Structure 1
């Protein structure tokens, strides 16, 4: 049974909703109904949201598998915290104007670390 992963999934879902609202606000501000119209702020808002959508589900799936395989709670929490911190850092650093490159880089590093450790732990637990 999953008891830890849903907490991180919910927190990341809140982040994704916030990023989605930012896209909607940019669309209204720029009067852009479809696409980005070459608007740099619109492109940035869309890519910030899309990056979260590209990485978070895969990482959460791996974390859930690790939890379902009986990993210790500390490991599942560590993976969730790495992912959450990574997604928050990336969204803030990438979405800010001008970008805070170091936060963007730290965000991706933490996200990749969560994915790599979850994949490794899942493989080890499966064997």
Structure 2
């Protein structure tokens, strides 16, 4: 068992969980401001914040599963750190974009780009490790 790789995967799980907490609180804050309990109530700002939160929910769990399996299959801790750090930075920049009413487009593009590239790299890496161990 590669304890440093598991520790690295755990670090990025915790950091990404904090990003989800941030997005949850941001969504709740906009809901409270506009007194919307369900859906977006036709409030564009709430729809934007909810979409950022939903995007994180769609992507973060998959990456964390891949990091965990990568560690379990013997990926070196440095690989987990490189992928985890780039993904987490991407998710934080993406969240920043969606939690602010006026945000630069580069934030969304950078966050999306880092998320997709690292997700694909992790998937290919885990697939390769799994095939080699079959």
C-alpha distance in 2 between matches for 1:62 and 1:100? 30
2:62 alignment counterpart: 58
Name structure 2 gaps, 5 residues minimum. Answer: none
Q: Is the 8 A contact 2:26 2:49 kept in 1?
A: yes
Task: Give the match's secondary structure for 1:37.
Answer: coil
1:76 alignment counterpart: 80
C-alpha distance in 1 between matches for 2:123 and 2:49? 29
Residue deviations 1:52-103 (CA, integer Å, cap 9, x gap): 1010001111111111111111101011101101101111123322231111
2:33 alignment counterpart: 29
C-alpha distance in 1 between matches for 2:18 and 2:102? 24
Name structure 1 gaps, 5 residues minimum. Answer: none
1:86 alignment counterpart: 90
TM-score by length of 1: 0.94
2:49 alignment counterpart: 45
In the TM superposition, structure 1's runs of 4+ consecutive aligned residues that sit over 3 Å from their partners are none
TM-score by length of 2: 0.90
- The root-mean-square deviation of aligned C-alpha atoms, in Å, is 1.1
Task: Pick 1 or 2: higher relative contact order, CA cutoff 8 A, min separation 6.
Answer: 2
Equivalenced residue count is 127
